[in-house]
Structure 1
């Protein structure tokens, strides 16, 4: 009886191995497909571009900063200001944000058309950054 159980177990293992070995695709491609399925389901936050701006006593910093970004990548302008102004992003479509006299303000946008995009302060009439979007 024990020999019969051992033979039955060996037969089940042989069938399982034969079933796995009958795949027409190579093992490496199925494991890479599994790895890519895992990576596509993993939620990694998108990269972001930050531009830090300070407005104090009528002076904005930075002026004419050069920035690189990818298409549809979130761009966040962080502003601390002692005066109200308006942030204008010359992209397609354009974006306009009202700046308050307050610390730690954030304005987020994306650019979906490649090229150069100017980010301006309207009341101070200054370009704080030019973003090259690729």
Structure 2
């Protein structure tokens, strides 16, 4: 090989190594199930109102469910699953709660103090 071919071969190998090194996103994903397969539900509580309210959300048994909450008041989120989950909501932004539902069926997620259903998970096998 001529020096020119070696030089281009090295650049190709080096660039390929950089691409392989950058392709892993494992460090940025949370432990457990990758974020791309988790069901994320954004919840906003402001001035006594909640959004979303009385919606339906599809999920799969064993899928990670992530509740991201911004609230101007304290409350409790109740997840009526087996086992049940209760999460204390602070008057703060950027709260995150996660759980997994393993039994197919309907699972209500409600705000205890406001007495409102946020969403009903339709959990399928």
Name the TM-score, length of structure 1 as normaliser. 0.66
Unaligned runs of 5+ in 1: 1-42
Offset at 1:45?
A: 2.5
> Hey, what does 2:56 align to over in structure 1?
66
Name the TM-score, length of structure 2 as normaliser. 0.71
The structure 1 segments of at least 4 consecutive aligned residues displaced by more than 6 Å after TM superposition are none
Indicate whether 1:104 and 2:94 are aligned: yes
Offset at 1:72?
A: 0.9
Q: 1:45 aligns with which of 34, 46, 59?
A: 34
Q: 1:90 aligns with which of 76, 80, 89?
A: 80
- Structure 1 window deviating more from structure 2 (86-95 vs 62-71): it is 62-71
Unaligned runs of 5+ in 2: 1-25, 27-32
Offset at 1:65?
A: 1.4
| Alpha-carbon distance in 2 for matches of 1:108, 1:65 | 19
| Alpha-carbon distance in 2 for matches of 1:45, 1:64 | 27
More helix by share: 1
| Alpha-carbon distance in 1 for matches of 2:71, 2:106 | 25
